[in-house]
Amino acid sequence: MLATLTERRFSSGDWIFERKFDGMRALAVREGGGAVQLWSRNERRADASFPELVEALAELGGPEFAVDGEIVAFDGRQTSFARLQARMHLTGAARIAATGVDVYYYVFDLLSLGGEDLTRFPLRDRKRLLKRAFDFRDPLRYSVHRNTVGREYFEDACGRGWEGVIAKRAASRYRGGRSKDWLKFKCVRDQEFVVGGFTEPQGSRAGFGALLVGYHDGPGPLRYAGKVGTGYDERTLRALRARMDSLERDSSPFQDRVREKGAHWIEPELVVQVGFTEWTTDGMLRHPRYQGERTDKPAEDVVKETV
């Protein structure tokens, strides 16, 4: 179940309000006392990258459950997708330990328990059952919520430097896909984009100059949203260039004309997260900055977030 972006901040006794995390969404599933499975949004298994979470879920939960939550890493007191990047593609105990990055799983919804489907239950009831279903201790954490005071919680969240707040209708059922029963109050502007090409590096820069990014506007080609030239370290520049070289194609995947001399085009499969200040009047990103690769989100689902 996915939230819809809104600029309307409100308080209501019919809604609950949770912290918005800057991490990786994941479902955790266990059937018949078997192994716990972690699934990303694009239906890829993530167990091997986060073995401590799999172990905690198996130890602290029952033999059968399905939960929804967010895998996060912290930079100080803030959740950091950039820091989580160091763990998202790794497997093997030694390589994982060498990163020094601790991860946590904030669980915010209970989809089934003991073989019983709970998605038809109201959210407030699912949260109540969730709190009793696990023995929450690190790295497994219960995602607490506030009742009624959405506007005040949003202001507090922004003051703390959080991503924002997720507002959820307390009586809502759990349904797959984007819904207006879940709403995003964002303190910062960022979203996912699909990479359709890149420019050559200039001077002593490695890898590439800028990513050429866009989003889907219904079925068909991408709409161009601009170029992203900042936010990379040298390791990222080289790694992304290697990935993009393997995806190169002859023609632009964008519906719009892109006036970038000597641009390289790639198959629109790579998804990245980009922070920016605003959309310009001609539909381009203003002051975009690369924040990380999103291996947990399918390219075909990336659309322009609008209010």
Enumerate the active-site residues: 20
- Interatomic CA distance for residues 302 and 307, integer angstroms: 15
Position 233, amino acid: D
Question: Which residue type occupies 92?
Answer: G
Within its chain, how far is the Cα of 165 from the centroid? 14
Write the CB contacts of 22 (distance below 8 Å, at least 6 apart in sequence).
Answer: 72, 78, 79, 80, 81, 163
